[in-house]
Amino acid sequence: MDSINIAKGYGKVSSLENPTATTHHHRQNAPSACRKRLIAIVIASIIILSIVIAAAVVALIHESITEGPEEDEQPKNSPNPSNSDSIHTVCTFTQFPDSCFKSISNLSITPTQKFDPEIIYSLSLKAAIEELVNLTSFPNTLIHKYNRTEPKTVSALNDCVELFADGLSQLRNSEEAMKGNNGTAIAMTELAMENMKTWTSAAMTDLDTCIDGLEEMESTVVDEVKMRVQKSKEYMSNSLAILSNMKAILDRFHLKLH
């Protein structure tokens, strides 16, 4: 501040010539100089704090990008990047894209095989079949538990056993339609697609009918069964959505239906 005062005083009476004037000037400007110095310190502190915060944010972003998702969020058998992109593209046509991608990626698949929409559909169907196979024993478990206490619930659950078996049969019809005489996958035709949509819809209806029966009986296990069949319904819904949008999906891949 002294250098500034000196510059401003150039050409004027010096402090040696007029000591009284200099003393009076310093007394007037001392509070102002302190305020300016305080403001400068505050501004400098804000700038430093902003830099520190910005650096921390950049570090966090970099860490999240380089580390990626946790291992337990990754599918068990992650397909190669090209196939992963293909599965993601197909699954965007479904109502449950996350479960679609995870269910397919968790299957024991050949990483080197190039996936086209028809293969991805067949894998979604395989996931639906495997989930329904796991579900078929569930009603019997509940029957054993409530056999002596809730006869109406047991009656409805016995219907569920038959409905689940019928649903599994419907899905296996679709699976067979994807195979030729030698058991290898074949290209889907318009007729085969219509049949597979009918069978998959019937399997979904079987699950809904099971729930309806439990509700009619005012069963205490209806909510438990609803939760247990949800994943199976999602997988079937995914397969049905892929079939229903197959032409649009093939267009996305610049392919045509055979």
Over residues 72-102, the pLDDT tens digits come to: 444 555 677 788 999 999 999 999 999 999 9
Nearest to 115 by CA among 17, 185, 34: 185
Q: Is the pLDDT of residue 184 over 90?
A: no
Between residues 221 and 25, the one the model is more confident about: 221
Between residues 114 and 21, the one the model is more confident about: 114
pLDDT of the residue at 40: 59
Nearest to 240 by CA among 104, 70, 125: 125
Using CA atoms, how far residue 6 sits from 14, 23, 185, 213, in Å, is: 9, 14, 93, 98
| 3-class state of residue 183 by DSSP | coil
Instruction: Calculate the CA 103 to chain-centre distance.
Output: 12
Q: Which helix (H) or strand (E) holds 84?
A: helix 81-91
For the CA atoms of the chain, what is the radius of gyration? 36
Q: Is the pLDDT of residue 117 over 80?
A: yes
Task: List beta partners, residue 185.
Answer: 179
List, in sequence order, every beta strand (DSSP E) within 188-252. Answer: none
- Residue for token digits 């409805």? 156
Between residues 178 and 185, the one the model is more confident about: 178
- The pair phi, psi for residue 93, each rounded to 5°, is -85, 0
Q: Is the pLDDT of residue 165 over 90?
A: yes
Query: Helix 138-146 and helix 151-177: axis angle, to 10°?
Result: 170
Q: Measure the CA–CA gap between 236 and 242, rounded to whole angstroms.
A: 10
Q: Measure the CA–CA gap between 53 and 56, rounded to whole angstroms.
A: 5
The pTM assigned to this predicted structure is 0.69
- In the chain, % of residues over pLDDT 70: 65
Query: What domains are defined for the chain?
Result: 2-67 (no CATH), 74-252 (1.20.140.40)
